[in-house]
């Protein structure tokens, strides 16, 4: 069973908010390959350092990434444990959707069988 206390709910809210944006999801994907500086995270989107930094702050606030500063460069790396928390929450509901999809498949199969029988 998934834990539903206030702390967990707040953490999940921040994680899913961070992941709701396609730019931030792309940044997470890039960071899954290893550490990157903010400039390299901004590059594919032709966005400014400031704009990319705002996205990084959201990811950092959600605990999805760590940032370290070396001189004037800011380097980010993925914190996969936080993604695991979101995955765990989603996995709980996987059973629900799997059952619903199985039910839908059964209904569609029955429908096709009825149509085939009616055509004969």
The pTM (predicted TM-score) of the whole model is: 0.73
> Domain 6-93 has what CATH class?
mainly alpha
Long-range contacts of the stretch 51-59 (C-beta < 8 A, 24+): 52/27, 55/21, 55/23, 55/24, 55/27, 56/27, 58/17, 58/18, 58/21, 58/24, 59/18, 59/24, 59/27, 59/28
Tell me the pLDDT tens digit for each residue of 62-105.
999 999 999 999 999 999 988 888 888 888 888 888 888 888 88
Domain ranges of the chain: 6-93
Nearest to 57 by CA among 20, 92, 24: 24
Tell me the pLDDT tens digit for each residue of 29-63.
999 999 999 999 999 999 999 999 999 999 999 99
Q: What is the pLDDT of residue 120?
A: 67
């Amino acid at each position: 069973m998934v834990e539903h206390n206030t702390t967990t709910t707040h953490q999940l809210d921040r994680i899913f908010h961070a992941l709701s944006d396609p730019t931030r999801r792309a940044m997470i994907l890039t960071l899954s390959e290893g550490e990157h500086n903010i400039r390299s995270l901004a590059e594919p989107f032709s966005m400014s350092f400031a704009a990319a930094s705002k996205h990084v702050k959201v990811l950092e606030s959600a605990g999805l990434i760590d940032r370290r500063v070396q001189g004037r460069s800011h380097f980010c790396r993925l914190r996969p444990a936080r993604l695991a928390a979101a995955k765990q929450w989603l996995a709980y509901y996987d059973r629900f959707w799997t059952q619903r999809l199985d039910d839908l498949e059964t209904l569609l199969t029955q429908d096709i069988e009825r149509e085939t029988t009616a055509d004969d």
